[in-house]
Amino acid sequence: MQNPLSREETSLQPLAEVQIRLSAAKIDARVRTYMKKPVPVESASAFIDQKIKQLGDWRGKTLAKVREIIHQADPEIVEEWKWRGTPVFSHGGIVCTGETYKNAVKMTFAKGAALKDPARLFNSSLDGNVRRAIDIHEGDKINEAALKDLIRAAVALNLMASSRTKPKPKPRRPSGKRPA
């Protein structure tokens, strides 16, 4: 049986297949990078330690202080490393993240919009329906007592929500028989 493709087309065919395979491999690698499971807790803590050390400036000191306050507020907080290098603090769900930017250390509370903030610590992401954030800039003083209260409230909200999400038994249908 003769190949229906011309000589030129058959010489290009392997190249096209290689390009498609390479593209698929690149896409697959990127998807795996984004979809990775969280880093184990011991490793996450080590990554956070390393990030603080690498920053080596006021942002590292601020992130270390925030981390200390979080653990003082709730000793059962679990440290995670997600989203390609973001410290995440969880208890019954995400409490907050500890992101670092050039001009700020940002604490984003996953359910911040549902929290009361009498000390008005939230100063960023105020327009959203779910999250709220605190941007801490160089030289800012942290209101530790108010931040601890906010963290405890976020943990309580997570635990309350997780206790409500237990599956409810299905209601029983009445039998087809009617009372006589």
Tens digits of residue pLDDT in 135-175: 999 999 999 999 999 999 999 999 998 776 555 666 666 66
Q: Give domain 41-162's CATH number out of 3.90.1150.200, 3.30.470.20, 3.40.50.300, 2.40.50.100.
A: 3.90.1150.200
Q: Answer yes or no: pTM beyond 0.85.
A: no
Of 65, 113, 63, 62, the closest CA to residue 88 belongs to: 63
Residue extents of the structural domains in the chain: 41-162
**pLDDT given at position 18:** 47
| HSE-up (13 A, CA, CB side) for residue 10 | 6
- In whole angstroms, give the CA distance from residue 129 to residue 89: 21
Mean per-residue pLDDT for 7-22? Answer: 52
Question: 34 or 170: whose pLDDT is higher?
Answer: 170
**Whether pLDDT at 102 is above 90:** yes
Strand partners, 133: 108, 124
If you compute the radius of gyration of the chain from its CA atoms, what whole number of angstroms results?
Answer: 26
Strand partners, 79: 89
